Amino acid sequence: MCTGACSKFIAVPLYILALVSIICNIVLFFPDLQTKYAAEDREGHPRITEEVKYMGGVIGGGIMVLIPAIHIHLTSSGKCCANRCGMFLSIGFAAAGVAGAVYSLSVAALGLANGPLCYWMDFKELKDWKKHMWNWCILPKDVVEFNVGLFSTLLVAACLELILCLIQMINGLFGCICGTYFVCDTYLR
């Protein structure tokens, strides 16, 4: 496989993972799929988990991965950037994708570790509480499952983005040093 084809193989999943990250982060703003919690939070009454506001899925796993994915995809095009310079630039863009994926991964891990913000006697964050106390949450309905499901999805997406961007950094290095039509099979035999 040439390094250009490998770039295309990496870019397409990055598009999908970036979209998944953006959607998950936006949905996290609406626990119980209602806008009232976001509106109350905007008015100064904490109703949304702090880690959601860090926008790890939109900024890190979304924009900071989507921009490199576009460049990596263009690198795979024979008419655009399929040259050593394009592969060299893809290393830098992939590094930016790594940074975005690490940010998204960190925020998602914090969101899972700290737990949801929910009403059980008053709106309180259950971060210093034991996991078995999460069933005390009354409002928003099923917020624990909601947060765990979406933050877990963000965590998995960020891990995959991180792996793909790291692979592209190596692929870009091979493409830069050996040329874009470097065939791995000739060196593996």
d(CA 181, CA 69): 20
Q: What is the DSSP letter of 123?
A: E
* pLDDT per residue rounded down to tens, the chain (189 residues): 566 667 778 889 999 999 999 999 999 988 878 788 788 778 887 778 888 889 999 999 999 999 999 988 887 665 444 577 778 888 899 999 999 999 999 999 998 888 777 766 654 554 445 555 666 677 777 777 888 899 999 999 999 999 999 999 988 888 777 765 554 444 444
Asked if residues 75 and 81 have their Cβ atoms less than 8 Å apart, the reply is yes
Name 118's bridge partners: 124
What pLDDT, on a 0 to 100 scale, did the predictor assign at position 130? 53
**In a 3-state reduction of DSSP, which class is residue 118?**
strand
Q: Which residue has the tokens 């994926």?
A: 101
Q: What pLDDT sits at residue 108?
A: 95
pLDDT of residue 72: 83
14/94 Cα distance (integer angstroms): 11
For 62, which DSSP code?
I
Domain ranges in the chain?
Answer: 3-114+139-179
First to last CA, the chain: 14
**What pLDDT does 189 receive?**
42
What pLDDT, on a 0 to 100 scale, did the predictor assign at position 126? 46
pLDDT at 185: 40
C-alpha distances in Å from residue 165, one per residue of 33, 83, 152: 33, 19, 20
